[in-house]
């Protein structure tokens, strides 16, 4: 390694030029990366709802209804005029209303009440609209302009369109606040006014390269787009700072800056690599998820940390050597006090903290697995947003509703009729639009226009559109999906296909719950193995992993005690993120304790270790905390917001356990940790 590092420092200008060119290219490529805001697109390709959707797109021009539009205070003729205008909106492929189900030329009092009130109630008209995926933003904007602010719209297409436009602005705001906070933290924790800028330049370069190289994935999820860059910044920050501090230490012993940098790289490689590898592996555990949002986020984050490591070992040494004179010229006094007193205080409370820690392990674990969950995207926007308000207004008049689409082989109208009758007998089914239902209605089939028929009959399949008065997810919705599938199975065995927002959410629920145990166990096992190899101890990996896992369990148990439902996707992702991002603190604490233990007794080693590492741990931990809380409180997307709160709160809990509990665990397990190491100094006094 020494020869490699010597070669790097001797070609520092070349390295800086190469990274600068890569930076410019990736800055341009980053604009070409598409962002997907639809959670259901990340279901496994083999899931029943995904297969159904793909087949439906092959057989029929129109997709599944994905928006509900309510127009208030309108007559039947006025509602029909609105329907024509909605159908004319670019991107809208179908609009369904009362006139598609029954004749509106008869007195309304003669119509079935449930069917009538599904579409028209108290002079409010509710339209079910299908919007093309590629034109959601433009179509939703045009519909809002058409209906005005006094009317309401909701649905997955609306949610996705709003997420696409608003999240970008929110993330830009969060990024600005994050950079400013990082700048302040670095100014407080470094000894040169120039050092924060050097660190931020290296971090910015690594982040831009990672964003540009995301083009290899074709597109990334909105979760990756929102959290990827700021998480990369938070977890990679201490790599550059650690290298800079090592360089300063080596310069005090060796005035030759190139030799000092080579020595600093050799001394810091093991610590930075072990820290980086545990983070990368923690993120890579997400790749094991069947739910493809996990691999999307895991690969991007792991790649980002790997690029940050390459940047630290290749670009930063060259850049530091080119700017070290500025570092020298802008020296200032230390702005933070020494943490010697803090170390003594922690030593006094660390054993009681260990006792509390042990008491909390089992309750925290049990509570973290007993939460109530949201699985889909129906609750992403709260009541304080326009979409949340619109959704509440529509549900207050027409109740919660969803649309399922069932496809069965074409040709057997008798069986279709029996199927339709049994489905209509379900109390949650308010209406069915299908070939057999319309043929048996009062309107003769020949009066049906060609467009309507093309939406119900294809070459191979007959399609039934079911309006159901259940929400997109929850026990009632999931129970109905199972009932509809059981009924369809009875008549058509395995030749039917069912799709819809609630159906996709049901499949999503089954997919992500199956992922949980596998992802967590693999993340823990992988991190444990890396720690085992790097620390060469069996007891230490157990102590470190248990410490961080307990912080994760406490973090996830808080919603249970607050009786707050959580997004299962955030619940699943945070376990790997918190483990990968904060186990570094425990590694740093342990490494420094082992170093200090070679020269002093264990009590003194604990105090000195806390004094040595507190600034470094607080630097990284505070950034991760603020990044998470900014994401949590600025974004209107509640899934991202909850993930941000988990990240911020998880960082705080990990900090508390590493700073107040881990020293006590190291003290108690000292005989297992130090038993094979030679103590260089005779221990003075009792331990």
pLDDT digits (tens, 9 = 90+) for 562-587: 999 998 888 878 887 888 888 888 88
Q: How far apart are CA 317 and CA 319, in angstroms?
A: 6
3-state SS of 364-430 is HHHHHCCCCEECCCCCCECCCCHHHHHHHHHHHHHCCCEEEEEEEECCCHHHHHHHHHHHHCCCCEE
The alpha carbon dihedral of 270, 272, 277, 282 has a sign of positive
DSSP string, 147-214: H-TTSEEESHHHHHHHHHHHHHHHHHHHHHHHHHHHHHHHHHHSSBSSHHHHHHHHHHHHHHHHHHHG
Cβ atoms of 496 and 432 closer than 8 Å: no
Q: How far apart are CA 280 and CA 382, in angstroms?
A: 33
> Is 472 buried (19+), middle (13-18) or exposed (0-12) by CB count in 10 A?
buried
Radius of gyration of the chain (CA): 30
Cβ atoms of 284 and 211 closer than 8 Å: no
Q: Are strands 566-567 and 429-433 parallel, antiparallel or unpaired?
A: unpaired
Strands, DSSP E only, in 538-633?
A: 566-567
pLDDT at 440: 56
Residue whose C-alpha is closest to residue 34's, from 169, 157, 134, 175:
134
Token reading at 299: 């690969």
pLDDT at 448: 58
Rounded to whole angstroms, the maximal C-alpha distance in the chain is: 101
The CATH class of the 1-32+190-335 domain is mainly alpha
Same fold, 1-32+190-335 and 339-370+537-687: yes
Q: How far apart are CA 370 and CA 372, in angstroms?
A: 7
pLDDT at 46: 85
Q: Which DSSP symbol is given to 126?
A: E
3-state DSSP assignment of residue 674: helix
Other C-beta atoms within 10 Å of 175: how many?
16
**Which long-range CB contacts under 8 A does 442-447 form with residues at least 24 apart?**
442/102, 442/103, 442/106, 443/103
Cβ atoms of 465 and 434 closer than 8 Å: yes
Low-confidence ranges of the chain (pLDDT < 50): 441-443, 676-687
pLDDT at 684: 43
* CATH architecture of the domain with residue range 339-370+537-687: Up-down Bundle (1.20)
Domain ranges of the chain: 1-32+190-335, 48-159+384-503, 339-370+537-687
Q: For tokens 């530091």, what's the residue?
A: 320
- Strand partners for 683: none
E strand or H helix that includes residue 28: helix 12-29
Q: What is the pTM of this model?
A: 0.83
């Amino acid at each position: 390694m020494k020869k490699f590092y010597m070669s790097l420092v001797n070609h520092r200008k070349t390295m800086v030029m190469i990274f600068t060119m890569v930076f410019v290219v990736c800055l341009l490529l980053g604009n070409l990366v598409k962002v997907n805001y639809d959670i259901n697109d990340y279901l496994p390709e083999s899931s029943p709802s995904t297969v159904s959707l793909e087949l439906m797109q092959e057989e029929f021009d129109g997709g599944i209804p994905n928006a509900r539009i309510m127009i208030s205070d309108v007559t039947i003729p006025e509602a029909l005029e609105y329907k024509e205008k909605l159908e004319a909106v670019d991107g809208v492929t179908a609009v369904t209303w009362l006139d598609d189900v029954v004749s509106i030329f008869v007195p309304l009092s003669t119509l079935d009440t449930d069917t009538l009130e599904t579409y028209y109630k108290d002079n409010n008209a509710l339209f079910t609209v299908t919007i093309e995926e590629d034109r959601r933003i433009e179509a939703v904007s045009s519909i809002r302009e058409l209906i005005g602010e006094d009317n309401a719209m909701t649905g997955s297409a609306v949610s996705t369109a709003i997420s696409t436009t608003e999240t970008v602005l929110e993330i830009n705001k969060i990024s600005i606040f994050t950079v400013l906070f990082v700048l302040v933290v670095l100014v407080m924790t470094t000894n040169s006014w120039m050092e924060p800028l050097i660190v931020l330049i290296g971090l910015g370069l690594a982040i831009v390269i990672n964003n540009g190289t995301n083009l290899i994935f074709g597109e990334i999820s909105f979760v990756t787009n929102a959290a990827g860059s700021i998480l990369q910044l938070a977890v990679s920050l201490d790599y550059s700072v650690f290298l800079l501090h090592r360089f300063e230490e080596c310069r005090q012993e060796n005035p030759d800056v190139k030799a000092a940098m080579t020595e600093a790289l050799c001394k810091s490689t093991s610590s930075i690599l072990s820290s980086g590898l545990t983070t990368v592996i923690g993120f890579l555990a997400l790749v094991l998820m069947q739910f493809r949002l996990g691999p999307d986020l895991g690969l991007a984050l792991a790649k980002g940390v790997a690029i940050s490591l390459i940047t630290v070992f290749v670009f930063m040494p060259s850049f530091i050597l080119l700017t070290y004179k500025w570092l020298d010229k802008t020296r200032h006094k230390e702005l933070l006090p020494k943490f010697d007193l803090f170390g003594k205080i922690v030593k006094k409370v660390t054993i009681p903290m260990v006792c509390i820690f042990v008491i909390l392990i089992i309750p925290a674990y049990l509570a973290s697995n007993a939460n109530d969950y949201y699985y889909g995207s129906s609750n992403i926007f709260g009541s304080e947003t326009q979409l949340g308000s619109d959704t509440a207004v529509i549900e207050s008049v027409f109740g919660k509703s969803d649309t399922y689409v069932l496809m069965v082989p074409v040709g057997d109208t008798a069986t279709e009729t029996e199927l339709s009758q049994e489905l209509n007998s379900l109390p949650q089914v308010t209406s069915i639009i299908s070939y057999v239902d319309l043929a048996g209605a009062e309107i003769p089939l020949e009066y049906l226009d060609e467009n309507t028929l093309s939406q119900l009959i294809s070459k191979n399949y007959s399609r039934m559109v079911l309006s159901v008065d259940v929400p997109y997810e929850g026990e009632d919705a999931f129970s109905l999906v199972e009932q509809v599938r059981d009924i369809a199975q009875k008549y058509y065995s395995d030749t039917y296909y069912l799709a819809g927002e609630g159906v996709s959410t049901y499949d999503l629920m089954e997919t992500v719950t199956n992922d949980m145990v596998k992802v967590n166990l693999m993340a823990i096992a992988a991190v444990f193995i890396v720690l085992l190899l790097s620390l060469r101890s069996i007891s230490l990996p157990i102590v470190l992993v248990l410490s961080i896992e307990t912080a994760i369990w406490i973090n996830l148990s808080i919603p249970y005690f607050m009786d707050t439902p959580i997004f299962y996707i955030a619940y699943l992702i945070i376990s790997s993120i918190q483990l990968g991002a904060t186990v570094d603190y425990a590694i740093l604490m342990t490494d420094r304790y082992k170093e200090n233990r070679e020269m002093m007794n264990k009590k003194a080693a604990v105090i000195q270790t806390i004094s040595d590492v507190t600034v470094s741990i607080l630097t990284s931990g505070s950034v991760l905390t603020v990044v998470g809380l900014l994401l949590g409180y600025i974004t209107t997307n509640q899934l991202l917001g909850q993930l941000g709160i988990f990240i911020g709160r998880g960082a705080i809990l990990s900090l508390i356990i590493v700073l107040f509990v881990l020293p006590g665990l190291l003290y108690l397990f000292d005989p297992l940790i130090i038993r094979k190491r030679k103590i260089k100094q005779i221990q003075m006094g009792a331990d």
